[in-house]
Amino acid sequence: MLSDILKKRGPIKKVGVLGMGYVGIPAAALFADSPQFDKVYGFQRDSPSSGYKIAMLNRGESPLKGEEPGLEELLTKVVAAGKFSCTSDFSKIRELDAVTLSIQTPFLNKEDLLPDFSALFEGIRNVGRNLSPGMLVVLESTITPGTTTGVARGILEQESGLVAGRDFALAHAPERVMVGRLLRNIREHDRIVGGIDETSTRRATELYTPVLTTGKVIPMTATAAEVTKTAENTFRDLQIAAINELALYCEAMGINVYDVRTGIDSLKGEGTTRAMLWPGAGVGGHCLPKDTYHLERGVQQLGKDLLDYPAGEPSLYVLARRINDFMPTHMFRLTKEALERAGRPLKGAKVAVLGWAFLANSDDTRNTPAEPFRDLLIGEGAVVSVHDPYVAGYPGVPIVPSVEEAVRGADAVVIFAGHHQYRTLVPQELKRLSCKKHPVIVDGRNMVDPDAYIRLGFIYKGIGRGDKNGHVIVEG
């Protein structure tokens, strides 16, 4: 029995973390900092793109970009104490009591929305080859529901000749960290821990409890844990789509969606509140655009024959994805309409895009919605300049360092990311720089006061601003 083997092995003392990225590094540092554990190995493939991290981490330096409060100090501390070291020698897994895998599963390509599990599966094979009875294996990556009890279990058993749930424990404990607050999130967020059986859930709970401060373990099955992680992002995407659709309706009905949002949001009290998020130019990032499709694939694989659903109706969640992915197209149409009002055809028009990052005040450009917008403009022969104060560069897209340079001679200025500096743009300045009688301003993130621009002769369009989008053009 697995519980007997675990009892014989005793408490977890040696831990391994595969994947030295923004999830694995803080996880390994926190395991190493816990007095509960004697030794933690960070496993990193010595690949051309990431091998450099091994030496850095063994010097106690963090290879992660951007501010991560407390991480570098923690790494220095646990390396100096000899409690953490990084290696590409996967055979060291044999010495361990528990290993976690935090290896990312990016898209193979956006068309068929199939995740690229190759790196994760290679990690699982490395664990399988070095698996011994009584070990615990935990998957932390976001995965399609059914992966832990399905293909992951299969690879581990095939490589080791052992049987999950009899010889070793297996669980899924999805990461819920956000860049900029990695350590805090791991310590303070409740931790979903889902084993393939009760014994595995208990063993994984033993691994995570020591690193939690205010967070609690929420035990469940492995598949429920996979659905929890994908659904928590699916629901966020759904809430954004709901307010994006309302914004489109308000534009069509000539009203201000932000008035409606304020009105609805005023409904307070137990159970009556509404999760009113914010309409915008689109939804990007590495979580929301993909996790809905993980959930969809999961129910197709696990529940296809049993799913009872309105015949012929699309998944609400996939429809939400389509609405969010429509927003850059809507931004394009707003821009095109405004330029037509200014008597400027798109072909040859200069459009300045302010904000390339997918998130306000961030340098993260993964799946940025600004990209399909720029592609549509270029497809119609417009000339596009891009400014972003946080983004140093992007393949094939020159990023200009100043707003002035981006806006100089522009027929249209389009705000795509809600970077705080775009709240203080000076309309008079933009008009001067544009050298146009009726420059266009399109606001994708509710950053500017429409009247401050309209009174100077701008042609204004804003997401959800049905009250302003058809305004009279002021002869400047």
Binding site residues, ligand SAJ, CB under 6 A:
176-178, 232-233, 236, 240, 277-278, 280, 283-285, 287-288, 358-359
Least Å distance between CB 342 and ligand SAJ? Answer: 27
What is the DSSP code string of 85-104? Answer: EEES-GGGGGG-SEEEE---
Least Å distance between CB 236 and ligand SAJ? Answer: 5
23-38 CB burial, b ≥16 within 10 A, e <16? bbbbbbbbbbbeeebe
| Nearest CB to ligand SAJ, comparing residues 128 and 464 | 464
Least Å distance between CB 189 and ligand SAJ? Answer: 8
Strand (E) positions, 178-328?
A: 191-195, 217-221
Q: Please choose, from the candidates 251, 315, 247, the residue with its C-alpha nearest in 3D space to the C-alpha of residue 276.
A: 247
For ligand SAJ, the nearest residue by Cβ is 285
| Nearest CB to ligand SAJ, comparing residues 181 and 471 | 181
CB-CB neighbours of 337 under 10 Å: 16
| Amino acid present at 446 | N
SS3 352: strand
Least Å distance between CB 174 and ligand SAJ? Answer: 8
Let me know if 300 is exposed, middle or buried by CB neighbors in 10 A (0-12, 13-18, 19+). middle
Let me know if 125 is exposed, middle or buried by CB neighbors in 10 A (0-12, 13-18, 19+). middle
Least Å distance between CB 378 and ligand SAJ? Answer: 21
| Residue that has been written with the tokens 């200014």 in this structure | 342
Active-site residue list: 229, 287
**Rounded to an integer, what distance in angstroms lies between the CA atom of residue 322 and that of residue 301?**
22
| Nearest CB to ligand SAJ, comparing residues 165 and 444 | 444
| Nearest CB to ligand SAJ, comparing residues 79 and 448 | 448
